Structure 1
């Protein structure tokens, strides 16, 4: 661990609103992570495993959602790794040797870092100046931008979530409310170029002023999407068909969506849904489960409700269950539902050790284990339109990471460990090495929970069996390195690619 800086308590707090606050706050919708109050009955501190808890599976044997034939490689095709949003990867990440890092400065916040089957990273960013969503193709060896393509500017709520399809094309909805497939190839001179290969207007389903917040392919190649104002739709850009339904009045969708062979999971600000569509392409609700959304939005969350992109997981197929974290007032709970019918598998308190009940992150799910990172009090520079006031109005970022194991027969779940790790990004679990990867935000003053513009940031590897950090490397100091609860991606060459508010970090081992 690097030596802490000696800085007085009067440092300005990162909650100060910079000129680019609107940009940063909306990009923060792509993720989240933090903690909570006192240890309840059944909670276990980091390193202690309760009697009867399921042992962690051997490397490579953990069930994860099946490969979607219309998505790119598992682990790198979506922000959350796969279309089931498991936040797992079959890739190992930085191996033995000295860790090093390099920042590619793009003058942009880059929440979406994906890698296709050709090994080329495709990054979706929003520049600090102009705020026009821009796709970058990166050099896998250096991280430098090989070429870029500007998309149509629209609501900042759009253009955060995207995925790579089975032909390594970026699938995204731009500001014109058009579904795009952006491909990359070399031109006659050998230079790389990005171009829109296919376009389909979603204007008939997405009203003017609304924006797509999440999208994912189904097992027929159609594209599911959800909007901030609560429309869920299905588009087929091969036939031009677009169909949609509206969620109940007052329900919004502030995070992405997830797809599995059984259907599409959507978590609104009030409830979690499973939807399907037959040959007619018309979305239908299979089940709806309301959750405790609390009395108001909390500091460190960007909407009044769950901050989760729903996570598919399970002990056999990897999709038997759907998991989210609610927004209950005092202690948030992991909620796990049966994918088949929506009945509750279990409900467990999480983030109970460190003093902050809230998570803006998608849970990490693998087999029967779930990892929840907290974001309560994380200093987002600003809030999305319509977020509303938080209760309380502000809070320190305490940090927190909890592992919960679910009984394989679905008869309940229990905390395995709970700690105060100050994760500043969405963690990723490598099933190749059984290692959690993330970036943490250390306090300038050791032992405190405050944040400042001079906070150090560290890439860390965490043992999922104990919750302990086993390896770390400082990537930078100060707000240029703020990972703003965005998701990292393990690349095929072993590097770890992490979006920041100013570009992309590339972390490697010598």
Structure 2
């Protein structure tokens, strides 16, 4: 196994470093959630794949919602597709084929897999240019089911899947745009998402935000203030592009010629240092668009305040604060590396404080405290429809080991829980059991669960799951993909 060069290590973002280290380290049906009610979610993006499956966070607004139901009635079953890889990006195109981006244990060359929709087995794969891994983590599917990703050469790729004359599947780079000097030497793309004109917004770890048009070849950029980094992905809505740096949340728009412009900036409390269970010093949120009308009136993040973190909700129109609410107090762990789930006026926050990531990115700095048990925690906050404040609805100590996904079809939260080996304790070990769970959004209570495995092979490492059109729940792990079904 080769050891990454120092230069490569400096190019990795926080989640990429954790993923690379992780791969190296190695019932009867019960009532579903409350009767579903229609809730606004971000509008369908004309240049992205299906709602709920086009991005890691479901849609370009990063709502972490899906219109698909997930596993239904009947005994739950789980199958692991072993790919000897960490697989954080599990997407599904309009044709029903899952497209997965993984980092192999050996060689660590980012690899795209096309999976069989009915079995989860890999039909074919394509290795990309080795380099920064985090750009691949936040890839998305475009309106032609092509994976849009930035590879190690600094090129924006569109990877399609096709059948050859014999009927066999193959993956190929259908389109390539070198970003060139737009990505400074030693820097790398950490997130990307399309705008409503078909161009692609991107942000780098070093704080460069850009807009690329692979139809014309034009790439334009804007640099955020000195010292600000972007450690998570970005989100797009008709109103603009939301970016949360290690210091502030921004909404960006573009001039007629495609030049990025800052519409507003809102600083947040980033605390005195990085916390255990977070991979960067600052908010761990990919910003979430939500709202009671269009589904994009507000933007939500979780800050990094020292004692108690707060959900921050801003108006998309001007950045003014809608509300600020303390979250994750029941679990006693003030920190979240995950994007909030947003649907209508409700926001769900999952805690990652103390999560045992196997390594830290270069430059992350010491955490305060130096270590902590994995606290977990889930909190629901409801925002008043008129935007005059918000309040906690429930707060519990469930230990979600993945980014929860909310089905608006059944009004059910889906996630994977990491339980302690010894019930009632707070520590973690290499022998922890993992269970898929369906949670009632009205109460925060687990409605249904199924153990999917024991031990580090099943670590979901705070990665997001995806509901497939056939109801299967697809969840990346540090060694492959889980396929959870019912029937």
TM-score w.r.t. length of structure 1: 0.90
Q: RMSD between aligned alpha carbons?
A: 1.5
Q: Between Structure 1 and Structure 2, how many residues are aligned?
A: 466
Q: 1:106 aligns with which of 61, 80, 83?
A: 83
For residue 135 of structure 2, give the secondary structure of its aligned residue in structure 1.
coil
Q: Residues 157 and 228 of structure 1 are in contact (CA less than 8 Å); yes or no, is this contact kept in structure 2?
A: no
CA distance in 1, matches of 2:407, 2:134: 30
Q: CA deviation at 1:59?
A: 1.8
- Structure 1's unaligned 5+ residue stretches are 1-18, 31-55
CA distances 1:419-467 after superposition (whole Å, capped 9, x unpaired): 0000000000000000000000000011011000000000000000000
Find the residue that maps to 1:91 and give its secondary structure.
coil
Aligned equivalents of 2:41 and 2:324: distance in 1? 21
Give the Cα–Cα distance (whole angstroms) in 1 for the partners of residues 111 and 184 of structure 2.
23
Instruction: Kindly provide the CA deviation profile for residues 61-80 of structure 1, in whole angstroms up to 9, marking residues without a partner as x.
Output: 11000000000000000000
Q: What residue in structure 2 maps to residue 495 of structure 1?
A: 472
Indicate yes or no: 2:192 matched with 1:215. Answer: yes
When normalised by structure 2's length, the TM-score is: 0.94
Distance between the aligned counterparts of 2:214 and 2:207, measured in 1?
Answer: 22
Question: What displacement does 1:203 show?
Answer: 1.7
Q: Give the equivalent residue in structure 2 for 1:345.
A: 322
Once the two structures are TM-superposed, the CA of residue 469 in structure 1 deviates from its matched residue by 0.1
Match of 1:76 in 2: 53
Q: Is 1:301 aligned with 2:278?
A: yes
Q: Deviations over 1:351-375 (max 9, x none)?
A: 0011110000000000000000000
Question: Any conservation in 2 of the 1:439–1:457 contact (CA below 8 Å)?
Answer: yes
2:368 is the counterpart of 1:379: no
Matching residue of 2:229: 252
Distance 1:419 1:450 in 2: 17
Answer whether contact 2:17 2:361 (CA < 8 A) is retained.
no
What is aligned with 1:26? Answer: 15
Q: Mapping of 1:96-495 within 5 angstroms?
A: 96-495=73-472
Q: CA shift at 1:398, angstroms?
A: 1.7
Tell me, which stretches of 5 or more residues in structure 2 are unaligned?
20-32
1:24, distance to aligned residue in structure 2 (A): 11
Query: For the Cα contact (< 8 Å) 2:34–2:442, is it kept in 1?
Result: no
1:29 CA displacement: 6.8
CA–CA distance in structure 2, aligned partners of residues 58 and 170 of structure 1: 35
Cα deviation, residue 349, structure 1: 0.1
Distance 2:301 2:132 in 1: 26
Secondary structure at the counterpart of residue 159 of structure 1: helix
Whether the aligned pair in 2 keeps the contact of 1:24 and 1:381 (CA below 8 Å) is: no
The answer to whether the Cα contact below 8 Å between 2:290 and 2:299 also exists between their aligned partners in 1 is yes
Determine the C-alpha separation between the residues in 1 that align with 2:134 and 2:71: 33
Measured in 2, the distance between the counterparts of 1:57 and 1:128 equals: 42
Q: Paired residue for 1:50?
A: none
Contact map agreement 1:216 1:223 (CA 8 A) in 2: yes
Distance 1:301 1:383 in 2: 9
